[in-house]
Structure 1
Amino acid sequence: MKHVIHLLTIVLVSAACEGVGQGRITYQPDTAMLAKAFETYREATINNRRFKHADIEPLILKRLGGNAFEVTQLGVSVLKKPIYQLKYGIGPKRVMLWSQMHGNEPTATMALMDLFNFLEASGDGMDSIRNLLKAQTSLYFIPMLNPDGADVYTRRNAMDVDLNRDARSGATVEGRLLINAAKTVRPDYGFNLHDMHIYYNTPGTPTPVTIALLAPAYNEEREINEVRGDAMRIAAGINQLLQGYVPGGVAKYDDTYSPRAFGDNFQTWGTRTVLIESGGYKGDPEKQFIRKLNFIVILNALIEIAQGSYAQYDIESYESIPFSDSKLSDVLLRHVSVSRDSMEYTVDLSINRNEYTVDSEYYVQSRISDVGDLGENFGYAELDAVGYHFMAGKIYPRVFDRVGDVSMEQAMDLLRQGYCAIQLAQMPENRHHGLPMVAFYQQAPGTAGPHLGRAANFFLSKDGEPVYAVINGYLIDLAAAPQETFKNYVQ
């Protein structure tokens, strides 16, 4: 869908929207304006997902003493890292936004840094938005609730507790900080900002769920009261905006009531709460496009809260958003011919690449996640392998001193000869490498295959010649130049 290109329009609307008085000016920003705001105010110091507390703390502290934000240290984490709250505006509608309660869910945190830049700017033709937010809302941001988890890119905190299951007991220091912040602020609206795995799809389609939304339940029966109904309307407005960017790429998150979860409890406490889960988008491994979407939908939702215009959306529009399915994989190979124990058979193979963090980098290890009839499944990369045969790879006999001794061109030539792995004489200090090869020191990887859970290193051949390589879960067309950035690791 092409975006309609307009300037910021200012229109008069009637009092049909709650909180918008007769004749009051309502701001109707379009997608081009919101996208321009993101590009203008994107925080340039953060470019990938694995940033740490030390990377965002200066971005918070530089706002101390400024005119836009009131910065407060709410407390410290288990490992004594400061946890901050930033307040913007003096209006009557109190909105609380918290991000990264799971340390490995940083997409919205990036977007909040961009939003801070936007809110403290001026003189760019968008001051009317800032003035509206200042006058009508008081915004309370907690941009990194779990700094200990963020520093090692893990879900849980340093006590090994999932903070989003601590709303009832308050056993963690970070959970208590959020509970106390909610008691102090008593927010009217809340945004619970998360990431989810990239393997959710909209039901029956190969489209990844790029953003999942939820107005969490406040009781077991999942009833709809005024508070939850308003949250549904806000989510419906977010969905409508997102359809212009990721058509069909929005779904609802599981709405099973959880008495331990913060979103459900905020809803119970009377806060109109919306969960935003950042999922997957093809070609966006660092989630920079999804970061942009977070910026756009959060800013637009805040504008709609400020002027009450979210009331234009109906609950039925929210209910019509499908629940997410989970039938995506990184690679799906259909109709692969396999010979094993004198048997010939045809199967589909799904392959996933699991990420492992090392400092600010990561590598992947692949696994065959399913084997059999996967007719209802999909892949970010798919290949109909009718006529292709599973072929185990060979280990190149020459021993190389280091990975750097092999060029990309050499690696591709070795793949075309049916070699999937190279041997190294010594273990390198930096074990990351970007070659489309298995590299190992001392112990050779297994190349038999296709077994559930086994690493995905093999070829698809035709007439005995390799045509495609699958190396550590990356699908490589041997007739073309590599299209991926390989995140491999010396074994």
Structure 2
Amino acid sequence: MNTRCFKNIVLVIVFIGSSSLLSAQDFYQQLFDNYDTYKEQSITKRRFTHSKIMPLISNLKGNDFFTVQKVGTSIKGKSLNLISFGEGDIDVFLWSQMHGDESTATMAIFDIFNFFKADDFQQEKKEMLSKLRIHFLPMLNPDGAEMFTRRNALGVDINRDALRLQSPESKTLKRIRDSLNADFGFNLHDQSTYYNANRTPKPATISYLAPAYNYEKDVNETRGNAMKLIAYMNDILQQYAPGQVGRYNDDFEPRAFGDNIQKWGTSVVLIESGGYPNDPEKQHIRKLNFVTILSAIHAIATEEFKAISRDNYFNIPENDRKLFDLKLTGVQYPLLGNTYTVDLGIHENEVSAHTESGYFYKANIADMGDLSTYFGYEEFDASAYKVVVPKIYPEAFSTLQAVTEKGVASLLKEGYAFVKVSNLPQDKDAVQFPLHVISSEKNTDIKFYVGANPTFFLEKNGKLEYLVINGNLVSLSSEEKPFGNALIFR
């Protein structure tokens, strides 16, 4: 359905007291515009644990609007909780974070609870709650969330355990699905930030899937309803993330919960949260989850999604995986007496650490050569620049503070990208200035190969103008901008 057609969808306006029923379009726009009113402010980082959400769940128990049930435990004994509300006959079941390091939708779920607790949009809420009974199971994998890893404490991928049901978390999900016999299910995940919408430089910020229930990828009414609902959601989301919506691969996976729950008669929608520029903690993507999930719940209650053609689902571009954090085009790379021209694609990988954010970045060259069909969150035309090997500053500094007192900018302009420090802090693996720190002299010869950590200068007309360090492009002539981190090599 195109945008013009969607704007013509207007619900009957009914006045009850001082409140009126908004058009669907206006409702979703106001959800987006007023999101900060509902955002759960106690969670603003992607890495949080079961202990962070339990006080929020306990608070819901004191509100008669919500029914809170402990429905299971993880391998390590952490509670799995089902939060339900609504009085309708249509059951909608949403579960999040079956992979412990995929937390975006869990944050949005608590925003949605705040929305339903608020006093506004009474008519829209009445319409949803009179038609639907809505059930949330947030953080299905609390043990994985504790370590911010994909798998549970057993080392099992819960989303590949729908048949054997080896893990207690898997058994709980299956039991709740069967007891509810839900009409609609939402399987809430995060995907790699390196997915892009097919053949475009735009990240697949949100990707959808109506999972197949057999190898033939047949479409029955159950799966067809999921497709129509996704097409509806896509129309909404295009207004807030234009061109940044993808469609996940629908190859049948017989061990996966989404595929099997579709097979068991629940219309399943998979929502995958990917990347968005300058949103490392996924707070903007969290907001998009809030809007897209509520738009789906609203569309189920009003049955608006039923008027959408299934064909619109297939018009959503497929996910591709052709994004880098940094793409350098046409780097002039001297090697063994010859100069070669290569493109470099660099990824910044998260490494868990005991820091405020809970992680630091360790970059690597993900690909090199002709990368003309690839894209970057940041792109730089390096065709006029030659690679220069960085140097190690000859004198050792006593502390990290002594390095900053010397002046980072002056060291860089002299071609130094490594400094030796005698007394390295044992609780640090990274530093917040663009110089690698080493405990002893290292070999810094530049060798470009897939997997290498990218650190080198870019020279133009005999002058050093840029430094690439641990995947960050640093200008040597402009004022400092926010910098990720360089590394400590012991």
Q: TM-score, normalised by structure 1?
A: 0.93
Deviation at 1:468, TM superposition (A): 1.2
**CA distance change for structure 1 residues 439 and 187 in 2, over 3 Å: closer, same or farther?**
same
1:95 equivalent in alignment to 2:92: yes
Instruction: Measure the CA separation in 2 of the matches of 1:207 and 1:476.
Output: 23
Query: Which region of structure 1 is more displaced relative to structure 2, 393-402 or 46-55?
Result: 393-402
1:297 equivalent in alignment to 2:292: yes
Q: Hey, what does 1:111 align to over in structure 2?
A: 108
The correspondence for 1:450, drawn from 436, 448, 451, is 448
Q: Deviations over 1:41-70 (max 9, x none)?
A: 100011111111111111111111312211
Q: Hey, what does 2:16 align to over in structure 1?
A: none
- The unaligned stretches of length 5 or more in structure 2 are 14-19
| Contact 1:27 1:129 (8 Å CA) reproduced | no
Query: Which region of structure 1 is more displaced relative to structure 2, 438-447 or 83-92?
Result: 438-447
Q: Hey, what does 1:269 align to over in structure 2?
A: 264
Structure-to-structure mapping, 1:289-438, within 5 angstroms = 289-359=284-354, 361-407=358-404, 410-431=407-428, 432-438=430-436
Tell me the matched-pair count.
473
Instruction: Measure the CA separation in 1 of the matches of 2:395 and 2:373.
Output: 43
The correspondence for 2:281, drawn from 274, 282, 286, is 286
Q: Hey, what does 1:21 align to over in structure 2?
A: none
| Contact 2:390 2:444 (8 Å CA) reproduced | no
**CA distance change for structure 1 residues 45 and 409 in 2, over 3 Å: closer, same or farther?**
farther
Instruction: Measure the CA separation in 2 of the matches of 1:409 and 1:228.
Output: 64
- RMSD (Å), alpha carbons: 2.0
- The unaligned stretches of length 5 or more in structure 1 are 14-23
Instruction: Measure the CA separation in 2 of the matches of 1:230 and 1:320.
Output: 16
Query: Which region of structure 1 is more displaced relative to structure 2, 307-316 or 392-401?
Result: 392-401
**Counterpart code for 2:468:** V
Deviation at 1:312, TM superposition (A): 2.2
Q: TM-score, normalised by structure 2?
A: 0.93
| Contact 2:162 2:260 (8 Å CA) reproduced | yes
Instruction: Measure the CA separation in 1 of the matches of 2:185 and 2:441.
Output: 52
Q: Hey, what does 1:157 align to over in structure 2?
A: 152
Q: Deviations over 1:211-256 (max 9, x none)?
A: 1100000111001110111000110011111111111111100100
| Contact 1:408 1:435 (8 Å CA) reproduced | no
Q: Deviations over 1:186-212 (max 9, x none)?
A: 110000000001111112221111011
* Structure 2 residue matching 1:366: 3-state secondary structure: strand
Query: Which region of structure 1 is more displaced relative to structure 2, 328-337 or 397-406?
Result: 397-406
Q: Deviations over 1:278-310 (max 9, x none)?
A: 001111111000000000000111011111111
Instruction: Measure the CA separation in 2 of the matches of 1:470 and 1:439.
Output: 15
Q: Hey, what does 1:28 align to over in structure 2?
A: 24
Q: Deviations over 1:367-395 (max 9, x none)?
A: 11111111101111111111100111111
Instruction: Measure the CA separation in 2 of the matches of 1:176 and 1:182.
Output: 10
**Counterpart code for 1:285:** P
Deviation at 1:480, TM superposition (A): 1.7
Deviation at 1:482, TM superposition (A): 3.2
* Structure 2 residue matching 1:54: 3-state secondary structure: helix
| Contact 2:143 2:153 (8 Å CA) reproduced | yes
Instruction: Measure the CA separation in 1 of the matches of 2:406 and 2:225.
Output: 57
Deviation at 1:130, TM superposition (A): 1.9
1:236 equivalent in alignment to 2:231: yes
* Structure 2 residue matching 1:467: 3-state secondary structure: strand
Deviation at 1:25, TM superposition (A): 6.8
**CA distance change for structure 1 residues 72 and 382 in 2, over 3 Å: closer, same or farther?**
same
Instruction: Measure the CA separation in 1 of the matches of 2:242 and 2:406.
Output: 38
| Contact 1:362 1:487 (8 Å CA) reproduced | no
1:180 equivalent in alignment to 2:175: yes
1:11 equivalent in alignment to 2:6: no
Deviation at 1:412, TM superposition (A): 2.6
Instruction: Measure the CA separation in 2 of the matches of 1:104 and 1:409.
Output: 40
